[in-house]
Structure 1
Amino acid sequence: MLRDIDPLLSPELLYALRAMGHGDEIVIADANFPGSSLGPDCIRADGSSASEMLQAVLSVTPLDTFVPDPVVTMQVVGDAEAVPEAVADFQRIIDATADNPAQIQGIERFAFYDRAAHAFAVVQTGERRLYGNIILKKGVIG
């Protein structure tokens, strides 16, 4: 255990977050996401929700301030304007926790998968809400 470090941040996840550089991305994914087959390292966190993991990751990782979309989620198939419960929850967490809060941008499902395939890592949670997937672009600690 470490002081002031969320216990959801496993040694493997802390290593990945520390190894990431400015502009690298990490996916926090729900239980249905194809995390293991997508390509990047898949860090299992089955006992947590995506919201809990987002809160933990943002407690130690800054969001990129040099791009217009440091936070993206997957749009609802057939209704790009819909805001799923998980995504609304993500925005509340970002607004309350991130050092540089950003507005979540939605992207088409297959564009999300393509972007996730190039991420540094995928954190596969036990999130059961649909569309409980988010990509964060790491920023700079000044």
Structure 2
Amino acid sequence: MKRDADAILNAELSHAIASMGHTDVLMVVDAGFPIPDDAWRIDLALTRGVPRLFDVLEAVHEELVPERVLYADDVPEMNPEMDERLRTLYEGSGAELETTAHETILEHGERAKAIVRTGDFVPWGNVVIECGTDPKDWFDGENVTMPAEYERRYEEMYGESP
């Protein structure tokens, strides 16, 4: 058994997260997302609402560094609770939070390394997470210059300058 009981216990999801590299895409989607047949599908859906989208997003967020998070541009107006929860979850993570056309979210399913299906029924409940890196881990060597973009992420993540 894993030492950290708060870490993700689902073996396939844990494996997918460990397999992600910089700019790889992981999607966490609601029960109705049309997952491509050839996608790495991690189907966690048990019954309606189990597990919930945000339960999975929060668990994934504990183990995966996001660089960019995309969701449908309908969400801020049509599902403001989801918009607020996403903003709260990713605040201070260094991730760029962006909205895009719903059709674009569907297209990301074609390039996602893995797609995690939840049991939630949430309007526009599909989130694209582009994996990032922690600037603290990658730019801590002597005679290494941290690019300005990573300095911004570092400051957002750690609340201080590198």
Query: CA offsets, 1:16-38, max 9 Å, x none?
Result: 11111111010000111112x36
2:133 & 2:40 partners in 1: Cα distance?
A: 22
Aligned twin of 1:67: none
Contact 2:25 2:130 in 1 (8 A): yes
Structure 1 residue 122 corresponds to structure 2 residue 118: no
Instruction: Report matched runs for 1:88-107 at 5 Å.
Output: 88-95=84-91, 100-107=93-100
Q: Cα RMSD over matched residues?
A: 2.1
Bigger-Rg structure (1/2): 2
Q: Residue type matched to 1:90 in 2?
A: L
Aligned twin of 2:77: 82
Q: Residue type matched to 1:113 in 2?
A: L
| Length-normalised TM-score, structure 1 | 0.80
Structure 2 residue ranges without an equivalent (≥5): 138-162
Match of 2:59 among 43, 56, 60: 56
Aligned twin of 2:4: 4
1:38 & 1:86 partners in 2: Cα distance?
A: 28
Structure 1 or 2: larger helix share?
A: 2
1:118 & 1:103 partners in 2: Cα distance?
A: 19
CA shift for structure 1 position 74 = 1.5
Could you tell me the percent identity over the aligned residues?
24
Contact 2:71 2:127 in 1 (8 A): yes
Contact 1:87 1:131 in 2 (8 A): no
Structure 1 residue 42 corresponds to structure 2 residue 41: yes
Structure 1 residue ranges without an equivalent (≥5): 65-69
User: Which deviates the most, 126-135 or 22-31?
Assistant: 126-135
| Length-normalised TM-score, structure 2 | 0.71
The runs of 4+ residues in structure 1 deviating greater than 3 Å are 5-9
